Amino acid sequence: MRYKLNIIVPVYNEEENLERLETELANYLKIASVPSSVLFVNDGSTDRSQTLIEDICDRNEAFEYILFKQNRGLSTAIKAGFDYTDTELVGYIDADLQTKPEDFNILLEHIDAHALVTGVRTNRKDAFAKKMSSKIANSIRRMFTKDGMDDTNCPLRIIKTDYAKRIPMFRGLHRFLPAMIMLQKGTIVQIPIQHFPRVAGTSKYGFWNRLFGPLIDCFAYLWMKKNYINYEVTKSSK
């Protein structure tokens, strides 16, 4: 297989960030500790994002894209990225570049021993309200999931693809990826990474949908945990 890591980049109306994103990702591919590629998942953008994405992919051999017919949300974009990945490892980073691609190399140092390695943002460069709502939401999710994660919504992580493809995704589940790996008996670890302020574009989440939406999703997770099907085959003639 030509690449070992495929980096998913969900995009929704990020035209102001895409040129800088191309530069950052292209520079990372030159220093990546494993052969890596990029997959843009355009979540039905209504600005010039798609035109810019196609130009970027034309200029860069290791860059590809898929375009949704309409906006379906972040969890759906990540799910599509998992579906379209055929590499051993799959990564994920936000298009706003508040995390840096080079930190994938830090996560890659730990992936052999774990099914999922996720970043935890240190010295976050967000507004107070955003940091506080995230802190409350993370505390609630930890109480429900018992996953021990301090930053379950960190937009920088790497997953072994066979685990990622077995996650039964639903809207909002991107916040529960570590917990869903644990349901498969996979091990997870969080590693400190850099965090930067958003310099262009606008956040797609406000205080209320960052806090109350995840609270409702916690109950969906509890139902899924109770009913989750997981098995291991020890022998087969097939």
Q: Which domains does the chain have, with CATH numbers?
A: 5-227 (3.90.550.10)
Return the pLDDT at 202.
Answer: 62
Q: Is the pLDDT of residue 235 over 70?
A: yes
Q: What pLDDT band is residue 33 in, cutting at 50, 70 and 90?
A: very high
Q: How many CB atoms lie within 10 A of CB 134?
A: 22
Predicted confidence at residue 238, as pLDDT, reads: 77
Bridge partners of 5? 36, 89
Residue the block writes with tokens 């990702």: 25
177-219 pLDDT, tens per residue? 888 898 899 999 999 998 765 566 565 555 455 556 666 777 7
């894209």: which residue's tokens?
65
Q: What is the pLDDT of residue 128?
A: 52
pLDDT given for residue 50 in this prediction? 97
More confidently predicted of 101 and 134? 101
Q: pLDDT confidence of 84, banded at 50, 70, 90?
A: very high
pLDDT score recorded for residue 129: 54
Residue-wise pLDDT tens digits, 45-59: 999 999 999 999 999
To the nearest 10°, report the CA torsion of 9, 145, 122, 186.
-60
156 within 8 A of 103, measured Cβ to Cβ: yes
Taking only Cα atoms into account, the Rg of the chain, rounded to an integer number of angstroms, comes to: 17
CA atoms lying within 13 Å on the CB side of residue 55: 11
